[in-house]
């Protein structure tokens, strides 16, 4: 910006400097033109005075009448002052000054050495003043003076023409300087505006667009760091901020995934402990009680009945433990995969389920667990909150993504933040990099759609 501003100021300053110089030259030329006009006027007056001298004395010599001497006397009196004025006006020009000095000397000599003596002679002896010699001498003197006047006027007219030409050149230079200054200023302003747009406006617009993408969740957005000065600092700061946010998001996602995985592992361990420990122990106790019941003598019916009640109670407790174990982590999911687990879930559902599964036999463990619990929670909500009469479950793997959809014909109105357990499902789905969508218009049922990326790692057994 400083360089562009300096260039603009330089161009404008140079244009104005040329303009001022041209204006000053125009003023000088105008002053000299007025001086030339004045010189020509004075030279013409001086030449007329010489003519008046010549015609006045000639009229007196021819007629002898004194009235012809009045113009001669006036010209004789005025000529010295006009000659001094002419010499003063051409002081700055040596050649014209010399020519004016010769004219003054010639005119003074004409008056002093010829005209005054001739008039004096004519008064004493008119015939003596009319001689051929006197006439020729006067004519030669007048011709010499006129020749000097012609030279002086021609030179002064040449000077005037040269000054006019210089004035025209100065005017053209001023117009050219003004045009070049205006055009250069406009060009620099356009270039400056383009530079500002490219160096400031566009990077700021990219920064605003990047901020919008970051606000929309695209933390991988970056902007080129090709700006200079403060714009470059802004670009680098935005990219650093985006990198920090992306790193924090990745760390948060990894932490959430580890928490979910740890929870699933704990649930699976609890289920395994219940299945291999508590359930087996209860089964052994039921078998022992049934054996003891069978060994009771017939004469002790009350003891047999008591043992039967205890065995039935243990059997009920065993079923509850099995149900609890399936709720914590279904063993069929770990053993048979998502398809058999969803079929078992559909059979136990309180709402009739139409099930379609088109997926590989085994998927990554995190994907299977997330899909299973989403379907389980959706079916539970369909029965408990939506009062649905039927539910449709579809699971399909396509292009590395598992698409799971659960629809029901219930009352609708479900939302992720509605406290229906969907918030926990969203956390579980997002922990494995998936997305979840809920469409539940009031009175038109609910549709739950999740998309889970299928990574290339081998499923856990």
Give the residue among 450, 335, 459 at the shortest CA–CA distance from 397.
Answer: 450
pLDDT at residue number 460? 41
pLDDT at residue number 261? 64
Q: From CA 310, how far away is CA 308, in angstroms rounded? A: 5
Do the beta carbons of residue 61 and residue 129 sit within 8 Å? yes
For the chain, give the percent of residues with pLDDT over 90.
3
Q: From CA 77, how far away is CA 376, in angstroms rounded? A: 136
Q: For the chain, first and last CA: distance in Å? A: 66
Q: From CA 78, how far away is CA 85, in angstroms rounded? A: 11
Question: Between β-strands 353-358 and 446-453, what pairing exists: parallel, antiparallel or unpaired?
Answer: unpaired
pLDDT digits (tens, 9 = 90+) for 47-81: 888 888 888 888 888 887 888 888 888 888 888 88
Segments making up each domain of the chain, as ranges: 2-190, 336-461
Minimum mean pLDDT range among 16-20, 187-191, 303-307, 441-445: 16-20
Q: From CA 15, how far away is CA 11, in angstroms rounded? A: 6
Calculate the alpha carbon distances from 100 to 10, 79, 305 in Å. 48, 13, 163
Do the beta carbons of residue 344 and residue 330 sit within 8 Å? yes
Question: Between β-strands 435-439 and 353-358, what pairing exists: parallel, antiparallel or unpaired?
Answer: unpaired
Q: At what angle do helices 116-124 and 69-89 cross, to 10 degrees?
A: 170
- Tokens at residue 112, please? 């002093």
By three-state DSSP, how is residue 418 classified? coil
Name the residue with higher pLDDT: 250 or 123: 123
Give the residue among 296, 48, 23, 33 at the shortest CA–CA distance from 175.
Answer: 23
- pLDDT band of 459, cuts 50, 70, 90: very low
Q: Distance between alpha carbon 71 and the CA centroid of its chain, in Å?
A: 87
Residue 286 pLDDT > 80, yes or no? Answer: no
CA quadruple 184, 186, 189, 190: dihedral positive or negative? negative
CA quadruple 274, 276, 277, 279: dihedral positive or negative? positive
Minimum mean pLDDT range among 40-44, 82-86, 208-212, 456-460: 456-460
- Tokens at residue 58, please? 């000639």
Calculate the alpha carbon distances from 380 to 353, 425, 438 in Å. 12, 13, 15
What Rg, from alpha-carbon coordinates, does the chain have? 61
Domain covering 336-461: architecture: 2-Layer Sandwich (3.30)
For the chain, give the percent of residues with pLDDT over 70.
85
Name the residue with higher pLDDT: 247 or 153: 153
Classify burial at 230, counting beta carbons within 10 Å of its beta carbon; exposed 0-12, middle 13-18, buried 19 or more.
exposed
What is the DSSP code (8-state) at residue 460?
P
Angle at 43 between CA 38 and CA 49, to 5 degrees: 130
Rounded to 5 degrees, φ, ψ at 201 are: -65, -50
- pLDDT band of 403, cuts 50, 70, 90: very high
Do the beta carbons of residue 402 and residue 429 sit within 8 Å? no
- pLDDT band of 276, cuts 50, 70, 90: low
């Amino acid at each position: 910006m400083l360089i562009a501003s300096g260039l603009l100021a330089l161009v404008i300053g140079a244009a104005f400097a040329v303009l001022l110089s041209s204006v000053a030259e125009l003023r000088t030329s105008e002053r000299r033109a007025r001086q030339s006009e004045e010189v020509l006027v004075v030279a013409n007056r001086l030449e007329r005075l010489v003519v008046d001298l010549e015609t006045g004395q000639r009229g007196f010599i021819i007629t002898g009448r004194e009235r012809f001497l009045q113009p001669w006397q006036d010209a004789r009196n005025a000529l010295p002052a006009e000659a001094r004025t002419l010499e003063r006006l051409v002081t700055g020009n040596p050649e014209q000054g010399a020519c004016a000095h010769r004219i003054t000397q010639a005119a003074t000599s004409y008056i002093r050495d010829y005209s005054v003596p001739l008039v004096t002679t004519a008064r004493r002896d008119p015939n003596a003043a009319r001689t051929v010699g006197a006439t020729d001498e006067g004519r030669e003197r007048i011709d010499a003076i006129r020749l000097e006047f012609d030279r002086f006027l021609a030179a002064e007219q040449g000077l005037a023409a040269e000054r006019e030409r210089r004035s025209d050149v100065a005017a053209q230079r001023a117009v050219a300087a003004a045009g070049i200054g205006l055009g250069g200023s406009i060009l620099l302003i356009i270039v400056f505006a383009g530079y500002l747009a490219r160096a400031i406006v566009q990077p700021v617009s990219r920064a605003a667009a990047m901020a919008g993408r970051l606000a929309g969740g695209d933390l991988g957005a970056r902007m080129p760091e090709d700006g200079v000065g403060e714009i470059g600092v802004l670009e680098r700061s935005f990219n650093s901020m985006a990198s920090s946010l992306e790193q924090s998001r990745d760390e948060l996602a990894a932490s959430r995934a580890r928490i979910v995985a740890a929870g699933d592992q704990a649930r699976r361990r609890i289920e395994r402990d219940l299945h291999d420990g508590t359930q087996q122990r209860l089964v052994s106790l039921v078998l022992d009680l049934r054996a003891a019941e069978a060994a009771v003598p017939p004469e002790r019916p009350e003891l047999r009945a008591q043992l039967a009640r205890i065995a039935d109670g243990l059997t009920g407790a065993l079923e509850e433990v099995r149900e609890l174990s399936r709720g914590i982590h279904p063993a069929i999911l770990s053993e048979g995969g998502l398809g058999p687990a969803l079929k078992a879930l559909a059979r136990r559902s309180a709402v009739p389920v139409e099930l379609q599964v088109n997926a590989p036999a085994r998927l990554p463990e995190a994907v299977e667990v997330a899909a299973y619990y989403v379907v389980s929670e959706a079916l539970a909500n369909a029965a408990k909150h939506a009062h649905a009469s039927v539910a449709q479950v579809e699971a399909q793997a396509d292009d590395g993504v598992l698409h799971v959809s659960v629809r029901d014909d219930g009352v609708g109105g479900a939302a992720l933040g509605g406290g229906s357990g969907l918030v926990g499902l969203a956390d579980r789905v997002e922990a494995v990099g998936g997305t979840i969508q809920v469409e539940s218009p009031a009175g038109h049922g609910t549709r739950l759609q999740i998309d889970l990326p299928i990574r290339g790692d081998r499923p856990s057994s």
